[in-house]
Structure 1
């Protein structure tokens, strides 16, 4: 298992099958290409994960990556938001996958970071680093935000940025993240639901039923990502 695929697997929603491959995960974490300190941190992350009950690990994942948009693992959400450019960017990314024999299922979003890492894990290292350098500013902020929230996932994201660029000023990124308003608090989440709820009845303003004025809230559920198959 390549380092990028390992990080992708560990960043993905932790399904029960993950614990069945513990030895393989530990072996992949002991990558000689990593600096000793980073390698030890990655190995410790895997050991801690394997010692955690699956339900608890799943709850932690949802609390970090599925509440608010600042920690979304959908990369284009950070770049394009809800603009129309996001749709075209997804089409372009799917075409890039297909040119190299990598087909997605109909339910998969191409900009989902764990999926991108699985793809890049099969590409030449120079190409993979080039791809990651283009999004390293996003991954670096994700790493900083995860660290500020006390999440152990920070080590995965920090490792990814270091793989792409060799160095990362995580302290500077954390200072920036510290100044950002949190978007995963109960108060903010309640406000988001209130703003996005469709209201009916005599008190409902007319624009509530205008599709251009409403946006369905994201469900708090596990992503539908499944391991894509590489076509020969």
Structure 2
């Protein structure tokens, strides 16, 4: 299992099948292309995830990625929000997948980061790095926000930034993340749902990828761990 495939599997909603492939995941986490420190961090993350009960791991994932929008794994959420531009971007991305023989099921959203990583795993390394470089500002901000929330998932985003040779100041992004209002608190979630009931039209995020004010729909969490 390649590094991109592994990170995608670990970022995805933890299906029960994950625990059936524990040894394979740990072997892949010891990737020699990583620095010694990063390799150990990835192995530690994988061991810690596998040590959890599936329901506990799933609850942790939902708390991290399914409350509010700041940590959404749907990349176009951070670029287009619910604007019409997002629809065209989705069509273009699906076309890119199909052009290279990568078909999606009807329920899969093409901008879901674990899915994109599965696709890039099948592409030449230079192409995969270029794709990730173009979204590294989003991935870097996700890394910063995860770090600010003391989430172990932060290391996965940091590895992706480094894989893409992203020249990002993660310290500055972490400072910015510390100043953002949290959108995953019960109070904020209640407010967002109240606003959702009366808002008409679409609201896109700013160019700086600050958290939009509407909560995302959950992507279909049906992918399975495969060698």
Same fold per superposition (TM over 0.5): yes
Verify: 1:141 aligned to 2:141, yes or no: yes
CA contact (8 A) 1:158 1:168 kept: no
Number of residue pairs matched?
215
From the CA coordinates, give the structure whose radius of gyration is larger: 1
- 3-state DSSP class of the match of 1:165? coil
Distance of 1:190 and 1:66 partners within structure 2: 14
Q: Which has the higher contact order (CA 8 A, sep 6+)?
A: 2
Distance of 1:66 and 1:60 partners within structure 2: 10
- 3-state DSSP class of the match of 2:13? coil
Question: Which blocks of at least 5 consecutive residues in structure 1 are unaligned?
Answer: 199-207
**Deviating runs (4+, > 3 A) in structure 1?**
211-214, 216-219, 225-228
CA contact (8 A) 1:162 1:168 kept: no
- 3-state DSSP class of the match of 1:31? coil
CA contact (8 A) 1:107 1:225 kept: no
Distance of 2:202 and 2:166 partners within structure 1: 44
Distance of 1:150 and 1:177 partners within structure 2: 12
TM superposition shift of 1:227: 3.7
1:65 aligned partner: 65
Verify: 1:161 aligned to 2:161, yes or no: yes
1:194-217 deviation per Cα after TM superposition (whole angstroms, max 9, x unaligned): 11226xxxxxxxxx7xx6489x96
| Aligned CA-pair RMSD | 2.1
TM superposition shift of 1:172: 1.5
TM-score w.r.t. length of structure 1: 0.87
CA contact (8 A) 2:49 2:57 kept: yes
Distance of 2:64 and 2:201 partners within structure 1: 29
